[in-house]
Structure 1
Amino acid sequence: MKRLILMMPLLASGCANFAFNTNLDKKNFDDYFKPSGVELYQQSQLADLNYLYLGTVEGQSCQEKSDQPVPSAATARTEARTKVADMGGNGLVLDKCSELTGTSGCLKQIVCYGQALKVAEEK
C-alpha cells in the first residue's frame, strides 16, 4: 500500500501534459569541457611525438579588486588550454608562468605562456 501511495504522483505526472524547460545550452557544455581535450606535455616529451606546431598561446588569471580571489596558475593554464582547443590543437607545452603585480586592470596577475600543438594520435 505504501508503494502505491509513493507511485501515485509519478503515475499522475506521467499522464499530465508536462514540459521541461531549462536555460542550459549545449554550447556551454562544449566550452566548459573544451580544455579537457588538451593534454599538457613537457618539452622533453616532444622528441617522441608526431606533432604540428600551431603557434603560441597565453592564459591569464587576474585579481581586479582586493575582495576577489587571488589569481591562480591553474586558471591561467586552463585559459591557455581553451585557446589551444580553439586553434584546433590537442596539446600544450607550457614555457613559463609569471606572477605580475600592479599591471593595468589587475592588482595581481598570473600569465602562462606556451606552445599550441596538434599531436597525432597513436595507432
Structure 2
Amino acid sequence: MYFSSTPTTLLKSALSVVFFSSMLGGCTGNYTFESNVKAENAKEYFSASKVKIYTDEQAFGESYQYVGLVEGEDCQKEQHLAAPDPINARTQARQTAYLQKANAIIFTSCVDIETKHCVAQVVCYGKAYRVATPNEQAEQ
C-alpha cells in the first residue's frame, strides 16, 4: 500500500495531533472549587430546616415549651433589586428560632414596613417553641 504525503498534509496532521494532545492534557490537572458557603457556617445556613412550621399549639401534642418571640426580615436595598420576599423573612425567623434552641414556630404575621434603609421591606413575626420529639415524649 502506498501513501503519498504532501508537506501540507503532514503539517495538518502534525497540528491536529498537537491540538488534540493539548486538549487532552488540559483535561487533567488540579481543579479548584470556590463557594460562598463556609464550612464553619454550614450549620447556620441549614438551621431553618430544623424548625418546623405549625399553625397552632394544638398540633404540638402534650409536651412543649414556649421559647420566645422571633422575627425575620427581607429588605429591598435598591429599586432595581428583587422585591422583598416573605419566604426569606420567614426563613430568617426560623434561623433565629433555631439559635434560641427552638424546633417549632408559629407565624403570627408578615407585614410590609416603611423604612429609610430599604426601598421596601417585609418583616415576619412568630412564636418559637421547643416541642418534645416522639423519643422525648416516650421517656417522660
TM-score, with structure 2 as normaliser:
0.67
Partner residue, 2:8: none
Higher relative contact order (CA 8 A, sep 6+): 1
1:108 equivalent to 2:120? Answer yes
Partner residue, 2:43: 30
Identity of aligned residues (%): 31
1:90 aligned residue (92, 98, 103): 103
Residue 45 of structure 1 deviates from its aligned partner by 3.1
Question: Which structure shows the higher strand fraction?
Answer: 1
Q: Secondary structure at the match of 2:72?
A: strand
Counterparts of residues 1-123 of structure 1 (less than 5 Å)? 25-43=38-56, 45-46=58-59, 48-100=61-113, 102-123=114-135
Q: Is the 8 A contact 2:60 2:131 kept in 1?
A: no
TM-score, with structure 1 as normaliser:
0.75
Residue 28 of structure 1 deviates from its aligned partner by 2.4
> Mean alpha-carbon deviation: is it higher for 22-31 or for 54-63?
22-31
Residue 26 of structure 1 deviates from its aligned partner by 2.2
Q: Whose Rg is larger? A: 2
In structure 2, do the counterparts of structure 1 residues 47 and 40 end up closer, same or farther at CA, with 3 Å as the change threshold?
Answer: closer
Amino acid at match of 1:95: T
Residue 32 of structure 1 deviates from its aligned partner by 1.2
Runs of 4+ in 1 over 4 A off after TM superposition: 20-24
Residue 77 of structure 1 deviates from its aligned partner by 0.3
Number of residue pairs matched?
108
Question: Runs of 5+ in structure 2 lacking a partner?
Answer: 1-24, 136-140
Separation (CA, whole Å) in 2 of partners of 1:99 and 1:34 = 25
Separation (CA, whole Å) in 1 of partners of 2:33 and 2:77 = 36
Cα RMSD of the aligned pairs, angstroms, is: 2.4
